């Protein structure tokens, strides 16, 4: 049986067992290690993490309350999917946040932060050339964090923090869409250049376009996957296994689980 999680659970003496399991599974969902629609078998997770089924069950219940997991009667737990409307909502919000952050950073960034931003971009280029996925993820996250910090807007950073899991999940999915990394590097370089020139309007425009292109890439990738008929889709208790036509309607009148 293929492992779901390639990780060892190391809690130290600080967390309840179920909470440590919860954090590991949530991180795997956010980073895409556990894909939307994937079945989360309690026994397999317990064996891989070296715990009993009880903390796994408690962790899955917590994740279900937060919307990361869907509990299906007589079938178990599945990684939740998101509708096209959900995805569009997140990208619209991220476009506004990233654009504002870049706009403010171009005005307020310090020379030290400019140096850190350039160094982070260089590190991301090295990680991309080496195809080091873990390093790409951590460095890309740091790149965006530097810009948010340079905005000097604590409320903006709080909003981003509250939405970090949803933003991170879609960001990583789009980042590794076919051909996207090369475009991402080019877009990052242009954003850094605008911030260095203190061109706040251009920095905003480039940051918004960066997010727009990320959404386009993710949509294309998901459409290709959907056309190939891979996997099962789950969202809000709605399951589509092997071509079922059942879908959940969203508030915006759109359907289609991704």
The pLDDT tens digits along the chain (258 residues) read 566 765 556 655 557 899 999 999 998 988 878 988 899 999 999 999 999 999 999 999 999 998 889 999 999 999 988 778 888 999 999 999 999 999 999 999 999 999 999 999 999 999 999 999 989 999 999 999 999 999 999 999 999 998 888 888 888 888 888 889 999 999 999 999 999 999 999 999 999 999 999 999 989 887 876 666 544 444 443 433 333 323 333 334 343 444
- Report whether 96 contacts 207 (CB < 8 A): no
The structural domains of the chain, with segments of one domain joined by +, span 17-79, 87-227
Asked if 69 and 54 touch (Cβ cutoff 8 Å), the reply is no
DSSP per residue over 207-236, as a string? HHHHHHHHHHHHHHHHHHHHHTT-S-EEET
C-alpha span between 209 and 213 (Å, rounded): 6
Domain 87-227, CATH: 1.20.120.530
Distances in whole angstroms, Cα of residue 67 to Cα of each of 46, 108, 124, 243: 21, 37, 31, 24
Do 17-79 and 87-227 share a fold? no
Domain 17-79 has CATH 1.10.10.10: yes
Stated pTM of the model: 0.73
**Under 8 Å CB-to-CB from 54, ≥6 apart: which residues?**
18
What are the backbone angles phi and psi of residue 39, rounded to the nearest 5°? -75, 135
Contacts of 147 (CB under 8 A, 6+ apart): 98, 101, 102, 105, 117, 191, 195, 207
Residue 95 has a CB neighbour count (10 Å cut-off) of 18
């Amino acid at each position: 049986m293929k492992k779901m999680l390639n990780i060892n659970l190391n809690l130290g003496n600080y967390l309840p067992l179920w909470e440590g399991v919860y954090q590991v599974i949530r991180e795997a969902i956010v980073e895409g290690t556990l894909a939307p629609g994937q079945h989360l078998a309690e026994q397999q997770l317990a064996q891989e993490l070296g715990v009993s089924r009880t903390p796994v069950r408690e962790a899955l219940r917590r994740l279900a309350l937060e919307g990361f997991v869907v509990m299906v009667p007589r079938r178990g737990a599945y990684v939740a999917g998101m509708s096209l409307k959900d995805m569009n909502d997140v990208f619209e919000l991220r476009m506004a946040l990233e654009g504002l952050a870049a706009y403010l950073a171009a005005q307020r960034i310090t020379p030290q932060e400019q140096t850190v931003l350039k160094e982070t971009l260089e590190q991301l280029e090295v990680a991309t050339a080496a195809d080091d996925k873990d390093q790409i993820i951590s460095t890309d996250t740091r790149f965006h964090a530097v810009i948010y910090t340079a905005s000097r807007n604590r409320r903006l950073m709080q909003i981003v923090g509250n939405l970090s899991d949803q933003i991170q999940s879609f960001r990583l999915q789009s980042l590794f869409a076919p051909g996207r990394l090369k475009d991402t590097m080019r877009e990052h370089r242009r954003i850094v250049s605008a911030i260095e020139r203190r061109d706040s309007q251009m920095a905003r425009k480039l940051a918004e376009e960066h997010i727009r292109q990320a959404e386009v890439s993710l949509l294309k990738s998901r459409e290709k996957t959907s056309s190939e008929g891979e996997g099962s889709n789950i969202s809000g208790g709605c399951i589509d296994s092997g071509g079922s036509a059942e879908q959940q309607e969203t508030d915006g009148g759109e359907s289609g689980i991704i």
